[in-house]
Amino acid sequence: MGNASETFLFVSKISKDSDFLMGTIYIIFGVLSILGNGILLFVAYRKKSSLKPAEFFVVNLAISDLGMTISLFPLAIPSAFTHVWLFNKTVCTGYAFCGVLFGLCSLTNLTVLSSVCWLKVCCPNYGSKFSYCHACLLVAGVWCYSGVFAVGPLSGWGEYGAEPYGTACCIKWDAPSQNSAAMSYILCLFFFCYIVPCTIIFLSYTFILVTVRGSRQTVQQHMSPQNKITNAHTLIIKLSVAVCIGFLTAWSPYAIVAMWAAFGNPTNVPPIAFALAAIFAKSSTLYNPIVYLVFKPNFRRSLCRDVAQCRRTLCGCQHSSAQKGTCNQSLHKEECNATRLSNGLPENHGTCRHCPCPEAVTGTRESFTEYSPQQTCRILKGSKHCEVAVSQLSNEIQSDFL
């Protein structure tokens, strides 16, 4: 491990019980993260031909979270259980580089995703023009943006080193007291990778909630009370709140502790504070897939269809031909239920299935893409198809956003 001073840096500075608890938590996080992100990527692969441009960011988020899990947890877990960093300084630098790269990629990805959602919901004129090419360019931009800050310490702008609690590595937060380059790096990191993303995410989802609230009021005015279409709006609100809470919960503790060490007296920061903050930050690897699997009907429906298909196959292998009919009928019913939107309405395939005159509303999305539900209702005011138009537009918002 090198000289005595270097060895001291790589020895745990928290109790063995705390290290054992941290290692156990990391094992749980690692298993859940691999399962959650693996399922998310599997669903995305199965529906790759129907992925929307905005969903590219959900896939990219799963890739970055999975990358963090695979590159960090196998090193952090044994080090925590043995109460000492088990690897040399080169591995420590690689660990820190991967942590910064994948962590910032997840942060930036959430920020870009919130901006795209704002564009599609609040500015449909421009949001409708968002294409696969735009999504690919933004995904590449996310990795480049994260790479700049990850490569910085390797080129002398900032510095990587052991975490204050000793069994992991990251940016040396006490470096600003030693040189101005490290101070400028941490200032830029804090501003461009925490303050700016927080602001963009908060404002994006605030504007989305305001827009959804106005749309919901219009729906309530023009549609029958028993219609469940407003549940789509409720789902959007829940997703918005969940993403914001998840972002702040995962990254705020680490940002606060890091700034305390960088611009205060590092010796006054308890090592256990950094250890707890690191646990919160790594929890984002399992929180993000849970949020999108729970609140994103498109992904959830695809997963339900795959599960139903697997059960149909197993059922067909285990039952006789006479029993197959009953089994397939039951599973067909289950699969049909799985394709229903979370608001209780069947998934639309071109036209409304329950409209008395489906041909009258065919192409509603194409005709009114540039209008909000409020504007569409004003255009169709007095028409029996106003309810259908608002319903389809609400479903379209849900489909694009969720």
Q: Are residues 254 and 333 in the same domain?
A: no
Q: Are residues 60 and 135 in the same domain?
A: yes
Q: Are residues 250 and 310 in the same domain?
A: no
Q: Are residues 279 and 380 in the same domain?
A: no
For the chain, first and last CA: distance in Å?
Answer: 49
Quick one: what percent of the chain has pLDDT higher than 70? 68
The predicted-structure confidence for 160-189, as pLDDT tens digits, reads as follows 998 989 899 999 988 877 788 889 999 999
* Residue 319: per-residue pLDDT: 55
Sequence letter at residue 101: L
Other beta carbons within 10 Å of 202: 14
3-state helix, strand, coil in the chain (%, to 5): 75, 5, 20
Q: Are residues 129 and 209 in the same domain?
A: yes
Average pLDDT value for residue range 195-215? 86
Q: Are residues 325 and 384 in the same domain?
A: no
Question: Which of the pair, 219 or 299, is modelled with greater confidence?
Answer: 299
Q: Are residues 274 and 391 in the same domain?
A: no
Q: Are residues 210 and 309 in the same domain?
A: no
Contacts of 85-91 with C-beta under 8 Å, sequence gap 24+, read: 85/1, 85/10, 85/11, 85/12, 85/162, 85/166, 85/167, 85/168, 85/169, 88/1, 88/2, 89/1, 89/2, 89/6
Average pLDDT value for residue range 62-91? 93
Q: Which of 270, 295, 320 is the last residue of a domain?
A: 295
* Residue 160: per-residue pLDDT: 94
Whether the predicted pLDDT of 218 surpasses 80: no
* Pick from 55-64, 110-119, 214-223: least confident: 214-223
280 contacts 249 by C-beta, under 8 angstroms: yes
> Which domain does 368 fall in, by range?
356-402
Q: Are residues 73 and 181 in the same domain?
A: yes
Question: Taking all residues of the chain, what is their mean pLDDT, rounded to a whole number?
Answer: 76
Q: 13 — phi, psi (to 5°)? A: -110, 10
Q: Measure the CA–CA gap between 284 and 349, rounded to whole angstroms.
A: 35
Q: Which of 328, 347, 366 is the last residue of a domain?
A: 347
Average pLDDT value for residue range 153-163? 91
User: Which residues lie closer than 8 Å to 63 by C-beta, 6 or more apart?
Assistant: 37, 41
Q: Measure the CA–CA gap between 298 and 347, rounded to whole angstroms.
A: 10
The predicted-structure confidence for 4-57, as pLDDT tens digits, reads as follows 444 445 788 999 999 999 999 999 999 999 999 998 898 888 888 888 888 898
68 contacts 101 by C-beta, under 8 angstroms: no
Q: Which of 279, 295, 311 is the last residue of a domain?
A: 295
Q: Are residues 220 and 334 in the same domain?
A: no
* Residue 331: per-residue pLDDT: 46
* Pick from 55-69, 340-354, 380-394: least confident: 340-354
* Residue 45: per-residue pLDDT: 86
Task: Check which CATH number belongs to the domain holding 15 and give it.
Answer: 1.20.1070.10
Total domains in the chain come to 3
Question: Which of the pair, 364 or 48, is modelled with greater confidence?
Answer: 48
Structure tokens at 319: 């039952």
For the chain, give the number of residues: 402
Q: Are residues 272 and 305 in the same domain?
A: no
Q: Are residues 200 and 336 in the same domain?
A: no
